[in-house]
Structure 1
Amino acid sequence: MTIILTAEQIQHKIRRMAYQIYEANIHQNSFILAGIEGNGYVLAQKLYEELKACCPIPVTLCKVKVNKTNVLAPVTTSLEVADYQDQSVVLVDDVLSSGATLIYGVKHFLEVPLKQLKTAVLVNRNHKKYPIKADFKGVSLSTSLQEHIEVSFEGEAVAYLE
């Protein structure tokens, strides 16, 4: 196991990403931070806390449920469609590996008229099977397909490579 990001480094990345998200939404009246259930939502909560400190624009936190074992199952959100229609949305996940989870989350939001849709990840692996990119990322790594990246927010946050 190789540590990629320590708790302090993760906090710095989250702070930097929050400022980038704020800058990308500076002309919006409000925007939605939509975290994919699990670590994506935990990361979205951490970004939300940072945004509250630096961003005067109202931000709404939303949980997005993507069935990772059956990605064709309907995606659900903690908000009603009307709550994010014609809004700016930032879809958040912890790691962008193949891109499957993120692209199915994006597909859900593309079925609703939005002002803009951006993506944010803590770790971008550069091994995408799908044509999706992270607009905001903490760190990009080129890894082998056999390697696995894990982010843990339990106790002291850490990102590591197995």
Structure 2
Amino acid sequence: MENNSVLILNNEQINHKIKRIAYQIYESNVDEEQIILAGIAKSGFELAQKLQAELEKISDLEVLLCEVKINKKKPLDPITTSLPPEDYRDKALVLIDDVLNSGTTLIYGVRHFLDVPLKKFKTAVLVDRSHKNYPVKADFKGISLSTSIHETVKVHFNKDAARVELI
């Protein structure tokens, strides 16, 4: 852990939250044959990979991963995805990020996917900080934190030592 940081979730707690979110996603999509997990690059995509592994254990859903690249400093820059739009057209899609802070990254991600007709569209985050500047919410979340705007939440997905810290 970094100096002056507070451990919010340890590896075991993160794994429990991921399992719970996976069950919620499955329950919401039980009638689907295929689902797209669109993870926002870096930690959101890592979370999507972990959710894919859990969904494959608990369901017979075909789970496709899609990496979403958003310039977090310039969210108006073009957004790219690892799957072409025709691969997620008329499908159930879950947009995933590690932390919902101001909502900027998630709202621009949502906006990108609105250009393609989807069957269902949901959002998932591991940590919801509730400092939203936009009317966006997480349909599935691991934990809600009340923090000051000056604090930072960091999610670390290390092989056997994942953790969430408040700095």
Q: What TM bracket, shorter-length normalisation?
A: over 0.9
The reply to whether residue 32 of structure 1 matches residue 36 of structure 2 is yes
One-letter code aligned to 2:23: Y
Counterparts of residues 81-120 of structure 1 (less than 5 Å): 81-120=85-124
Deviation at 1:69, TM superposition (A): 1.4
The reply to whether residue 152 of structure 1 matches residue 156 of structure 2 is yes
The reply to whether residue 17 of structure 1 matches residue 8 of structure 2 is no
Structure 2 segments unaligned to the other structure (5+ residues): none
1:120-156, Cα deviation, whole Å (9 max, x unpaired): 0000001101110000000001111111100001241
Deviation at 1:55, TM superposition (A): 1.2
Counterparts of residues 45-84 of structure 1 (less than 5 Å): 45-84=49-88
The aligned counterpart of 1:4 is 8
1:64-121, Cα deviation, whole Å (9 max, x unpaired): 0011111001111000110000001000000000000011010000111001110000
CA RMSD in angstroms comes to 0.7
One-letter code aligned to 1:113: P
The reply to whether residue 122 of structure 1 matches residue 126 of structure 2 is yes
Identity %, equivalent residues? 57
Which moved further from structure 2: 146-155 or 70-79? 146-155
Find the partner of 1:132 among 114, 133, 136: 136
Deviation at 1:29, TM superposition (A): 2.0
SS in 1 for 2:20: helix
The reply to whether residue 161 of structure 1 matches residue 166 of structure 2 is yes
Matched residue count = 162
Moved over 2 A (4+): none
One-letter code aligned to 1:37: A
**How many angstroms apart in 1 are the aligned matches of 2:24 and 2:136?**
19
**How many angstroms apart in 1 are the aligned matches of 2:74 and 2:93?**
24
Q: What TM-score results when the alignment is normalised by the length of structure 1?
A: 0.98
**How many angstroms apart in 1 are the aligned matches of 2:6 and 2:68?**
30
Structure 1 segments unaligned to the other structure (5+ residues): none
Q: What TM-score results when the alignment is normalised by the length of structure 2?
A: 0.95
The aligned counterpart of 1:141 is 145
